[in-house]
Amino acid sequence: MASQDNLNKMQLRQNYRNFWHTDLMSTIQADFPYCCLAFWCGPCVSYMLRKRALYNDMSRYVCCAGYLPCSGRCGESRCPEFCLCTEVLLCFGNSVASTRFLLQDEFNIQTTQCDNCIIGFMFCLQQIACIFSIVAMIVGSQEIQEASQILSCLSDCVYLTVCACMQTQHKIEMDKRDGKFGPPSAMAVPPIQTMSRIDQPTPPPVGYPAQPYGYPPPQPQGYPPAGYPPQPAYPPAGYPPAGYPPAGYPK
């Protein structure tokens, strides 16, 4: 059941409409110092980002953010800080991915095609390096063994680089969430006080008490005055005039 729920969530992420504030290709340029920190101290950065993603409320912590079958079964409620440390040290890749999924589901963020290609290339390179290592052990060729070592080293470098860029991407997105990029842009949704709708009632003039929608504002006391408007006598006095109709007018 949990696996099916996670599969459904992964399918829903394909329909998200928002984008990351910075894509993976631009993270080094956007925040180079933090990217270096994430490269050399990945587990520490992963710990800080997960805690920040939970709004520093560790009572909300679940192992791997609830995306794996072991989530909720590791005693997280008793010691969430220790469990998070264990997660980022022993399952570093899962910790980065879980924080990513957590942010995507919270803000409806989709992953761009370019980001998918970079992540896919990282996984493919790891699989190729693993295959070369297995072949080198079976065949016993020195050349294949050297090639497998080169591929393993290259795949590790790519893996650490992509993880560092992803963690920088997560940090920038949370900076945006926490308002560290200044006031909202002009395209932001206006406050509710300034939003208008056609079917919204027109506010009464100042001084009138609040009335339910559809009720006219109350009239001032004593309005209209008694006898207003004046009703003239009808027919007016002296009408018709004397001698009307004229004599001989056809009847």
- Predicted TM-score (pTM) of the model is 0.67
Q: What is the mean pLDDT of the chain?
A: 78
In this prediction, residue 7 has a pLDDT band, given cuts at 50, 70 and 90, of low
Beta bridge mates, 19: 110
Separation in Å, CA 60 to CA 44, 81, 105, 138, 216: 19, 11, 15, 47, 51
Rounded to whole angstroms, how far apart are CA atoms 135 and 137? 5
Q: Nearest CA to 34 among 184, 180, 178, 172?
A: 172
Task: Give me the DSSP letters along 133-197.
Answer: HHHHHHH--HHHHHHHHHHHHHHHHHHHHHHHHHHHHHHHHHHHHTTTT-SPPTTSPPPTTT---
Encode pLDDT of 81-104 as tens digits: 999 999 999 999 999 999 999 999
Judged against a pLDDT cut of 90, whether residue 31 lies above it is answered with yes
Encode pLDDT of 165-214 as tens digits: 999 999 999 999 998 876 544 434 333 333 333 344 444 444 444 444 44
Q: Answer for the pair 156, 39: CB distance below 8 angstroms, yes or no.
A: no
- Tell me the backbone φ, ψ of residue 197, rounded to 5 degrees: -135, 155
Q: How many CB atoms lie within 10 A of CB 125?
A: 19
Q: Answer for the pair 148, 138: CB distance below 8 angstroms, yes or no.
A: no
Rounded to whole angstroms, how far apart are CA atoms 251 and 147? 128
Most confident of 2-6, 39-43, 114-118, 183-187: 39-43
The pLDDT score that the predictor gives to residue 192 is 36
The owner of tokens 């992964």 is 10
The pLDDT score that the predictor gives to residue 34 is 96
Encode pLDDT of 125-155 as tens digits: 989 988 988 888 888 888 888 888 899 899 9
Q: Three-state DSSP class for 203?
A: coil
Separation in Å, CA 195 to CA 162, 188, 189: 42, 12, 9
